[in-house]
């Protein structure tokens, strides 16, 4: 499939049918996603795979009883066949930019980064993973890191890393609850591209 097709076809799927994802295949896919760009070749992004036997447990840590009982998408999301935790090690970026070839940047101090590239690199790896999942005939949803970060990291035994987001993977069951965001009137893609002219 052409990359343009993949980009146009890819959608967040929030209702899965429970088909388990093969952990070895997922590990290989995640390694491929890490070909994404990384600032200064810092290689500070990590992808932690959670196989199908632990997805229920993940949701018990990442959510609360109220959400699992009342959210309209809870059942469909919890049937994901696997989970990937996307994390970054900000300290590795600061250390990398303290090395001789990068020292003049002043980015050996975390507060000097106008854009925290540990998040940028995590986003790039996440997008690469989403496209690889789509190309492989599976579907995914991006689960934002808005709550329970400490509990998730502790549960997964992850230290000294920031949770960027979680990717839920599986086979769509066709019962997706449409996002209310799709009803928003937004500018066209073309109108969001501007040529800078003299």
- The b-or-e profile of 183-195 (16+ CB within 10 A means b, else e) is eeeeeeeeeeeee
Residue 29: exposed, middle, or buried by beta-carbon count in 10 A (0-12, 13-18, 19+)? buried
Is residue 168 predicted with pLDDT exceeding 90? yes
3-state secondary structure 135-153: HCCCEEEEEECCCCHHHHH
36-to-51, 144, 156 alpha-carbon distances in Å? 23, 20, 24
- Domain 11-173 architecture: 3-Layer(aba) Sandwich (3.40)
* Six token digits for residue 107: 């980015």
**What would the pLDDT profile of 3-26 be if each residue is shown by its tens digit?**
888 788 788 899 999 999 999 999
**What would the pLDDT profile of 68-115 be if each residue is shown by its tens digit?**
999 889 999 999 999 999 999 999 999 999 999 999 998 999 999 999
> What are the extents of the domains in the chain?
11-173
Instruction: Please state the pTM of the whole predicted model.
Output: 0.92
């Amino acid at each position: 499939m052409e990359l343009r097709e993949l980009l146009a076809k890819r959608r967040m799927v929030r209702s899965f049918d429970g088909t388990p994802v093969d952990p070895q295949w997922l590990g290989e896919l995640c390694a491929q996603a890490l070909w994404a760009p990384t600032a200064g070749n810092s290689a500070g992004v990590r992808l932690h795979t959670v196989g199908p036997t632990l997805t229920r447990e993940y949701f018990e840590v990442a959510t609360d009883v109220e959400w699992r009982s009342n959210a309209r998408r809870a059942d469909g999301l919890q049937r994901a066949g696997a989970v990937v935790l996307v994390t970054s090690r900000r300290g590795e970026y600061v250390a990398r930019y303290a090395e001789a070839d990068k020292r003049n940047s002043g980015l050996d101090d975390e507060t000097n980064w106008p854009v925290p590239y540990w998040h940028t690199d995590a986003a790039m790896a996440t997008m690469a993973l989403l496209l690889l999942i789509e190309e492989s005939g599976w579907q995914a949803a991006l689960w934002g890191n808005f709550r329970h970060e400490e509990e998730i990291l502790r549960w997964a035994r992850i230290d000294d890393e920031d949770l960027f987001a979680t990717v839920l993977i599986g086979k769509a069951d066709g019962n997706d609850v449409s996002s209310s965001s799709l009803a928003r009137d937004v500018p066209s893609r073309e109108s969001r591209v501007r040529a800078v002219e003299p």
